Amino acid sequence: MSEGVNILLVDDRAENLLALEAILETLGQQLIRANSGPEALKKVLETEFAVILLDVQMPGMNGFEVAEIIKSREKSRTIPIIFLSAISKEDAYVFKGYSMGAVDYVFKPFNPDVLRSKVAVFVDLFLKQREIQRQGELLRESQKRELELEHRTSLLETEARSAAKLSQMNDELHRRQIALEQAMGARNRFYASMSHELRTPINAVIGYRTLMLDNIYGPLNAKQKEGLQRTLKAARHLLELVNDVLDLSKIEAGKIELSLQPVMFPSVIEDLFVTVRPLADEYGSSLELEMDGDSFNIVSDPRRVRQILLNLLSNAIKFGEGKPIRVVCKQNADKGVDIEVVDQGVGIAKDDISRIFEEFVQVSESKQPGTGLGLPISRRLAQLLDGALSVHSEPGQGSSFRLTLPATLEDDMAPTAELSAATAA
């Protein structure tokens, strides 16, 4: 037998215990002695036994009383008990022994071989039960591993399906992105082509109307002059729209070229004041320049800087309700420039702040003339120049647009560079 078991021998006489040990020694199991009923109960509590050989006649606590207590306990009630008796051979005693849960009742003197065989049967039964328990545990462990494997397989299958679905979605997204890029490219090419085609006839209309207003083709009466002036104004507005669309298409296509040169402050702002003075006089607004510190310069694209500031000044005049326009210019801590264009006009509602930088959007209730492209183009140009354009506004109190530009772009780009559409956006 590969693994030994315990056999409890209970008798109040040492010579009887010695005899039992001699008979059962050949079984090769662990033989444990108990000289009394209480000692036997203590052993049963401490140790697991395959079988108990229990003497009936013992002083203090007899074998029947010991068996009754053993069978009353959940842990020990299944242990086989073989009663050993030298004097109680009547049927009543034998019946009582079996009623106490004994599996056998052996009379002294007993046949050693028979007793050994009986004990061997219970030892073998105990070992088989132990093996069944072990196999049951192995089976449960195997079932547990099988369930874990099934669960892991299910997870892997779910992950595989998710990965396949994600791959499919990525492929679809990639196809849509390509289609969108192609559509945007076609749109930008259309914008650029149409803008170029439209500028020629519009310039011709403006040129001929100007000549007619200068009386090159003969004198005009008041009604004719008024009509021509309105036509000229509409033609110029249309040219402004075409130019804005062309700029927007170039930015989105990444075709804007930057020519980096020194930009002097406040000289560039003073020059722009001269340009917008007629418009400011028309709306009744005064222009004020506040310069914080001495003159300085940055390295940027002068044309694009003027384009941004011209748009901010024009908007401030148009929506400033004839009140003073302030431009605050200062060199920031990074040697760049911060320029604020502040008006005291209608202001912008909080919900409309983000929309003013969307193409073709005009949110003011005053319905001032414009293309709805000035601010979107200005913000994108500011980003191309590694700067930023932000706004703070309160309805009825006016708006403040802040342009921030770095000290130089020389570390980031060549003197003339085509920027990608991603950068432009």
pLDDT per residue, tens digit, the chain (425 aa), is 446 799 999 999 899 999 999 999 999 899 999 999 999 999 999 999 999 999 888 888 988 888 889 888 888 888 899 988 876 556 556 667 667 767 788 887 888 999 899 899 989 988 888 888 888 888 888 888 888 888 888 888 888 888 888 888 898 888 998 888 787 677 666 666 666 676 677 777 778 778 888 888 888 888 888 887 888 777 765 666 666 666 666 666 666 778 899 999 999 999 989 888 988 999 999 999 999 888 999 999 998 899 899 889 988 998 888 999 999 999 999 999 999 999 998 888 887 887 887 776 666 544 555 556 788 888 888 998 999 999 998 888 899 999 999 999 864 444 444 433 333 33
Res 191: pLDDT: 62
Name the percent of the chain in helix, strand, coil, to the closest 5: 55, 15, 30
3-state class (DSSP) for residue 204: helix
Q: Where would I find the beta strands (DSSP E) of 287-353?
A: 287-292, 296-300, 325-331, 337-342
Q: Are 384 and 304 contacting, i.e. CB atoms less than 8 angstroms apart?
A: yes
Q: Which is nearest to 237 in space by CA: 275, 284, 273, 198? A: 198
The C-alpha atoms of residue 320 and residue 347 are separated, in whole angstroms, by 8
Token pair in block for residue 357: 């930088």
Q: Are 85 and 55 contacting, i.e. CB atoms less than 8 angstroms apart?
A: yes
Res 417: pLDDT: 41
Res 362: pLDDT: 63
In sequence order, the 6+-apart residues with CB closer than 8 A to the CB of 338 are 328, 329, 330, 331, 332, 402, 403, 404
Token pair in block for residue 182: 């192609």
Ramachandran category for residue 27: left, alpha or beta (phi over 0 → left; psi -120 to 50 → alpha): alpha
